[in-house]
Copies of this chain bind each other. A is one copy, B any other.
Amino acid sequence: MRDRFLRACRRQPVDRTPIWLMRQAGRYMPEYRAVRERYGFLQMVKTPEVAAEVTLQPIRAFGVDAAIIFADILPPLEGLGFRLTYEKGEGPVIHNPIRQPRDVAGLHSSDPRETVAYTLTALRLVKRELNGLPLIGFSGAPFTLASYAIEGGGSKEYRLTKRFMYEQPAAWHDLMERLSQLVAEYLIAQVEAGADAVQIFDSWAGALAPADYRAFVLRHTQNVVATIRARLGEAAPPIIYFGTDMAGLAGELRQIGADVLGVDWRIDLDVAWAQYGYEHAVQGNLDPMTLFAPRELIAARAREILQRAAGRPGHIFNLGHGILTETPVDHVRYLVEFVQSFPLPTEAPALEEVME
Contacts and interface: CB of A to CB of B under 8 A. Distances in A.
Interface of A: 157-159, 162-163, 166-167, 206-212, 214-215, 245, 247-251, 265-268, 271-272, 286-290, 292-294, 297, 301, 304, 320, 324, 355-356
Contact of A268 (B167, B251, B265, B356): B251
Nearest to A356: B215
Contacts of A355: 214
B290 A209 contact: yes
Given A209-B286, A251-B271, 7 more contacts: A157-B289, A163-B292, A207-B266, A209-B265, A245-B245, A245-B266, A248-B267
A215 B300 CA distance: 12
B167 A293 contact: yes
B289 A159 contact: yes
A297 B248 contact: no
Q: In the complex, which of the residues A162, A209, A215, A355 has the most CB atoms of chain B within 10 Å of its own CB atom?
A: A209
A340 to B, nearest CB: 21
A268 B162 CA distance: 18
Contacts of A249: 266-267
A334 to B, nearest CB: 14
Contacts of A215: 356
Contacts of A290: 162, 166, 209
Contacts of A292: 159, 162-163, 166
Nearest to A158: B289
Contacts of A320: 209
A162 B214 contact: no
Contacts of A166: 290, 292-294, 297
A295 to B, nearest CB: 11
A251 B268 CA distance: 10
Nearest to A304: B211
A211 B208 CA distance: 25
Given A166-B290, A167-B294, A248-B247, A268 B157 contact: no
